[in-house]
């Protein structure tokens, strides 16, 4: 039997940074994209598809609906009118009417929202297919298995191509940029959960995947178990640092200053140029905001 072929990472060039954020092409009989990038990065994605000779996309899978992964879904769906859009069922309504989602993003990124991400177009309701844990979606020569991997956000799904062993898992394993020696957790507002994130890493460990692809960025080199260990350890270190520094800080600005000092003092042993890239892709203030909200749910008034 011929090798069905694994995913190809497509650089969305988010924020103008190469190899920081990826969409993934699954070369099935019904060609599919897993995540599409933001509305502002659609030209980069469609140019890459054209250069690869891809003339049709028949399925679009979204791991979750954060703008850097799903903001371009409306545009991509319009350009490929045969494609159905598969999305975690809890948030399917926000593809059809993205107004509340946009308000939520604006509450975090403010006036920079449109400049950084663009604004999502609605996806027609008859093309939106809700996905839940355990669903298998037929792509002709293969199917993708949906695996619920919440934590980064409550409605987060990874997709396993059982014919190749490739798992595309969005942000569930954090930020794994090429040639960086650290993993940075991705813990944004407003519904990050430490416990669910750690549980999802274990689900990925037990998934039987032979290769793992992340949104930031692409194929993660090395053994699956080791990569899961690195992701969970990084997440736990960040949480411990957050709790320690929060007790000593004099407000949000002081907390952020303390965290940056801890990162630069050795918690993230990387070069200054790499740190600038990490801070663009996944700024520390965004992680602290998500952790603060998560902590307040556990300890109201904290």
Report which of 123, 118, 73 is spatially closest to residue 96, judged by C-alpha positions: 123
CB 282 within 8 A of CB 186: yes
CB 87 within 8 A of CB 58: no
Predicted local confidence at residue 300, as pLDDT? 58
Predicted local confidence at residue 200, as pLDDT? 98
CA 30, distance to chain mean position in Å, is 23
Joined tokens for residue 225: 């178990």
Predicted local confidence at residue 2, as pLDDT? 46
CA dihedral 203, 208, 211, 215 (to 10 degrees): -20
Predicted local confidence at residue 298, as pLDDT? 74
**For the chain, which ranges sit under pLDDT 70?**
1-3, 299-302
Q: Has domain 8-229 been given CATH number 3.40.50.10420?
A: no
Predicted local confidence at residue 4, as pLDDT? 74
Give every CB contact of residue 45 below 8 A, 6+ residues apart in sequence. Answer: 10, 12, 23, 33, 36, 37, 72, 76
- Parse the chain into domains and list their residue ranges: 8-229
Tracing tokens 């070369």 back to the chain, one arrives at 27
CB 117 within 8 A of CB 101: no
Q: How far apart are CA 44 and CA 72, in angstroms?
A: 11
């Amino acid at each position: 039997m011929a090798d069905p072929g694994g995913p190809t990472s497509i650089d969305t060039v988010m924020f103008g940074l190469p190899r920081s954020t990826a969409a993934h092409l699954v070369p099935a009989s019904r060609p599919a994209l897993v995540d599409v990038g933001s509305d502002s990065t659609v030209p980069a994605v469609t140019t890459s598809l054209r250069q690869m000779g891809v003339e049709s996309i028949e399925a679009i899978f979204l791991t979750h609906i954060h703008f850097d992964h799903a903001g371009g879904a409306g545009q991509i769906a319009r350009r490929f009118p045969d494609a159905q859009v598969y999305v975690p069922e809890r948030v399917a309504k926000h593809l059809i009417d993205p107004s509340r989602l946009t308000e939520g993003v604006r509450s975090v990124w403010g006036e920079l929202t449109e400049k950084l991400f663009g604004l999502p177009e609605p996806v027609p309701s008859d093309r939106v297919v809700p996905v839940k844990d355990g669903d298998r979606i037929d792509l002709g020569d293969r199917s993708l298995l949906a695996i619920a991997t919440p934590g980064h956000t409550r409605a987060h799904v990874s997709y396993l191509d059982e014919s190749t062993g490739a798992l595309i898992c969005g942000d569930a394993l954090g930020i794994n940029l090429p040639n960086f020696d650290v993993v940075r957790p991705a813990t944004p507002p407003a519904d990050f959960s430490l416990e669910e994130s750690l549980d999802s890493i274990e689900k990925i460990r037990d998934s039987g995947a032979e290769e793992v692809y992340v949104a930031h960025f692409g194929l993660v080199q090395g053994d699956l178990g080791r990569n899961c260990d690195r992701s969970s350890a990084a997440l736990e270190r960040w949480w411990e640092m957050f709790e320690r520094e929060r007790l000593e800080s004099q407000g949000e600005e002081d907390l952020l200053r303390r965290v940056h000092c801890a990162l630069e003092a050795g918690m993230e042993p990387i070069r200054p140029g790499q740190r600038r890239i990490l801070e663009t892709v996944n700024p520390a203030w965004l992680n602290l905001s998500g952790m603060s909200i998560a902590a307040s749910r556990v300890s109201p008034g904290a």
